[in-house]
Amino acid sequence: PTVYVITPTFRRPEQIPELTRLGQTLRQVKNLHWIVAEDAQVLTPVVRTTVEKMGIPYTLLVAPMPDEYISKPGHKPRGVSNRNAALQWLRSNNITEGVIYFADDDNSYDLELFEEIRKVKKVGMWPVGLVTKFGLSSPVVKNGKIVGFYDGWIGNRKFPVDMASFGVNLSYLSKFPNISMPFSPGYEETGFLRALNITKDDIEPLAENCTKILVWHTQTKKSKPAEKAAGAKHNNTNIPFLLD
């Protein structure tokens, strides 16, 4: 089965390096389609060229975060409108075979992960490293069945998991033509999984019964080159040094 990797992305200094790193991982995986969904008003040319040069099947979409969430202070529903645009694209193209996976642009992925994703029959799960202060988010597996979840923030969630921790088969997903991810910060994963009408018993524990970490929730340190240059204390450090 084809793996449909859905990557929400937005403009900031780290965007192109993140997409380059992720694209160079994905280009090593056979039978993969990369859906890059921008949180932007219009497609960004440099995002297109960055994705295009990977030489793999791809789709570029654009779906900005709605204004009501942008203006609201605090925790925002990041990547939701753009992930939903990807789900809509799969529906409108009648793609009912393959497996979807939500891959944020800044995580780190082991190539073995994509072979686990391919095994998903309905909904599959696996651990994610470096999430919250616990450093790990994982289903708890007993006798080959998921019996609970280990996560630094349970937060009254039915499925206390990270976005990177699950895959859904499109033959199952397509039974839910109205499914979308909710605009509820922190509850996107559990809301989406609840809408799939599954119980713990339906979920396939993958990555050797959830004993292998194949994806990490890494976060890139913010770089602020412009501000740094403007605030430079030493003489002439913010102008180019030219040789004679």
Provide the binding-site residues for Mn ion, judged by CB under 5 A. 104, 106
SS3 label, residue 119: coil
Interface pick for ligand UGA out of 24, 219, 237, 238 (rule CB under 6 A): 219
Candidate list 97, 189, 208, 227, residue with the active-site label = 189
Part of the chain binding ligand UGA (CB under 6 A), chosen from 84-92, 103-111, 203-211, 233-241:
103-111
In 80-219, which ranges are E strands?
Answer: 99-102, 108-109, 123-125, 128-129, 136-142, 145-150, 166-169, 203-205, 215-216
Residue 112 appears among annotated catalytic residues? no
Burial 201-239 (b: 16+ CB within 10 A, else e): eebbbbbeebeebbbbbeeeeeeeeeeeeeeeeeeeeee
Indicate the residue among 85 and 120 with the shorter CB distance to ligand UGA: 85
Q: Is 151 in the site for ligand UGA (CB under 6 A)?
A: no
Place of tokens 């006798």: 143
Interface pick for ligand UGA out of 36, 39, 58, 151 (rule CB under 6 A): 39
Q: Is 82 in the site for ligand UGA (CB under 6 A)?
A: yes
Indicate the residue among 5 and 146 with the shorter CB distance to Mn ion: 5
Indicate the residue among 110 and 145 with the shorter CB distance to ligand UGA: 110
Sign of the CA dihedral with 72 first, then 217, 110, and 191 last? negative
Which residues are catalytic, by number? 189
